[in-house]
Structure 1
Amino acid sequence: MRILLVEDNQTLASGLAAILRGSGYVVDLVADGTSAEATVAAESYDLVILDLNLPEMDGLDVLKAMRARQNRAAVMILTARGTPEERVKGLDLGADDYMTKPFDVPEFEARIRVLLRRQAGLRSSVVTYGGVTFDLTSRTFSSQGVPLDIPAREVALLELLFMRAGKVVSKEAIIRSLTGFDDDLSSNAIEQYVSRLRKRLAVYGLTVKTARGIGYYLEKMASPE
Structure 2
Amino acid sequence: MRLLLCEDEIQLSKALVAILKHSNYSIDAVYNGQSALEYLETENYDVVLLDIMMPKVDGLTVLKELRRKGNMVPVIMLTALGQVDDKVQGLDLGANDYLTKPFETKELLARIRAVTRNQDSAASSLLKLGNVTLDRASFEVSSPLLTIKLANKEFQMLEMMMLNPRYVIPTEKFMEKIWGYDSDSELQVVWVCISTLRKKLINMEANIQISVKRNTGYCLEEK
Give the superposed CA RMSD.
4.5
Q: How does 1:24-39 map to 2 (within 5 A)?
A: 24-39=24-39
Q: Percent same amino acid at aligned positions?
A: 35
Q: Which runs of no fewer than 5 residues in structure 2 stay unpaired?
A: 211-217
Q: 1:29 to 1:107 in 2, by over 3 A?
A: same
Residue 136 of structure 1 corresponds to 137
- State whether residues 27 and 178 of structure 2, in contact with CA within 8 Å, keep that contact through their aligned partners in structure 1: no
Residue 223 of structure 1 corresponds to none
- State whether residues 5 and 48 of structure 2, in contact with CA within 8 Å, keep that contact through their aligned partners in structure 1: yes
Q: How does 1:199-218 map to 2 (within 5 A)?
A: 200-201=200-201, 207-208=207-208
Distance 1:105 1:58 in 2: 24
Matching of residue 59 in structure 1 with residue 59 in structure 2: yes
Residue 114 of structure 1 corresponds to 114
Offset at residue 134 of structure 1 (A): 3.8
Q: 1:74 to 1:113 in 2, by over 3 A?
A: same
Distance 1:131 1:39 in 2: 30
Deviations 1:85-125 (A, max 9, x none): 43332123221221112222101112112334455x23489
- State whether residues 161 and 218 of structure 1, in contact with CA within 8 Å, keep that contact through their aligned partners in structure 2: no
- State whether residues 26 and 177 of structure 1, in contact with CA within 8 Å, keep that contact through their aligned partners in structure 2: yes
Q: 1:159 to 1:103 in 2, by over 3 A?
A: same
Deviations 1:55-88 (A, max 9, x none): 22221101111122222332111111542x4333
Offset at residue 45 of structure 1 (A): 2.2
For structure 1, which segment, 13-22 or 38-47, has the greater mean C-alpha deviation from structure 2 after superposition?
38-47
Q: Which runs of no fewer than 5 residues in structure 1 stay unpaired?
A: 220-225
- State whether residues 22 and 152 of structure 2, in contact with CA within 8 Å, keep that contact through their aligned partners in structure 1: no
Distance 1:97 1:154 in 2: 30
Q: 1:92 to 1:132 in 2, by over 3 A?
A: same
Q: Number of matched residues?
A: 212
Residue 156 of structure 1 corresponds to 156
Letter in 2 for 1:122: S
- State whether residues 198 and 207 of structure 1, in contact with CA within 8 Å, keep that contact through their aligned partners in structure 2: no
| SS of corresponding position for 1:50 | strand
- State whether residues 33 and 57 of structure 2, in contact with CA within 8 Å, keep that contact through their aligned partners in structure 1: yes
Offset at residue 170 of structure 1 (A): 5.0
Distance 1:48 1:10 in 2: 17
| SS of corresponding position for 1:17 | helix
Offset at residue 198 of structure 1 (A): 6.5
Distance 1:127 1:65 in 2: 30
Distance 1:171 1:94 in 2: 35
